[in-house]
């Protein structure tokens, strides 16, 4: 089973990439995790170039999402909404509609922000976009507020309640795929 992580942040030391790393550690050993890191290379969406030969980074994104059994999105919040580059990538992934790479995929959304709100508005917007695309979005969320204080030096979440909620989200994501968790020999 493959879980693909998408961070809505382009920043090298992104709290949302840290959040994906913490989530990846919650996965059983038999589950593969791949963080797709090509967000910065996705060009602005242009339907004129969306035919059978999309730009290579878009084709890579679509292939990666197609292979995934589940999607885990971690997003910051910019001006109370979704970072433009993440929304743009989701627009590319939504084509061709209705047979896109996210159609029917199980997705979970979480977010980390230095604000006191933990990117809750951006998470709601990402859930709405994923649902419109045709993904099966789980309802649980995780808002990591004051992210600059939320992670330990080892990259782990300091707060036990946040760790517990992250574990629940990962478990629900895996369970919602409908695939058995088999061990790797």
DSSP per-residue codes, 36-62: E--GGGPPPP-GGG-SSS--HHHHHHH
Please check whether residue 60 lies inside any domain of the structure. yes
Please check whether residue 36 lies inside any domain of the structure. yes
Please check whether residue 104 lies inside any domain of the structure. yes
DSSP state of 7: E
Evaluate whether 77 touches 84 at the Cβ level (below 8 Å): no
Q: What is the mean pLDDT of residues 20-30?
A: 97
Please check whether residue 182 lies inside any domain of the structure. no
- The interaxial angle of helices 84-93 and 120-133, nearest 10 deg, is 10
Please check whether residue 92 lies inside any domain of the structure. yes
pLDDT at 5: 98
Calculate the CA 65 to chain-centre distance: 11
Domains in the chain: how many in total? Answer: 1
Please check whether residue 86 lies inside any domain of the structure. yes
Please check whether residue 185 lies inside any domain of the structure. no
Instruction: Say which CATH number the domain at 120 has.
Output: 3.40.50.360
Structural domain harbouring 60? 2-176
Which position has the higher pLDDT, 97 or 161? 161
pLDDT tens string 66-120: 999 999 999 999 999 999 999 999 999 999 988 899 999 999 999 999 999 999 9
What is the chain's mean pLDDT, rounded?
94
Q: Is the pLDDT of residue 53 over 90?
A: no
- The whole-angstrom separation of Cα 161 and Cα 89 is 31
pLDDT at 183: 46
Please check whether residue 183 lies inside any domain of the structure. no
């Amino acid at each position: 089973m493959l879980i693909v992580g998408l961070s809505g942040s382009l920043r090298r030391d992104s709290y949302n990439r840290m959040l994906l790393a913490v989530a990846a550690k919650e996965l059983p050993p038999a589950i593969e995790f791949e963080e797709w890191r090509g967000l910065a290379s996705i060009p602005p969406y242009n339907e004129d170039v969306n035919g059978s030969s999309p730009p290579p980074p878009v084709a890579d994104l679509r292939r990666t999402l197609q292979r995934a059994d589940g999607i885990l999105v971690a997003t910051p919040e910019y001006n109370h909404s979704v970072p433009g580059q993440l929304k743009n990538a989701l627009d590319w992934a939504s084509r061709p509609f209705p047979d896109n790479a996210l159609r029917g995929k199980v997705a979970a959304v979480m977010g980390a922000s230095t604000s006191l709100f933990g990117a809750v508005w951006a998470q709601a917007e990402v859930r709405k976009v994923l649902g419109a695309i045709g993904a099966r979005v789980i309802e649980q969320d995780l808002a990591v507020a004051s992210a600059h204080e939320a992670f330990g030096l080892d990259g782990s979440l300091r707060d036990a309640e946040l760790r517990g909620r992250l574990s629940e989200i990962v478990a629900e994501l895996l369970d919602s795929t409908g695939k058995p968790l088999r061990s790797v020999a």
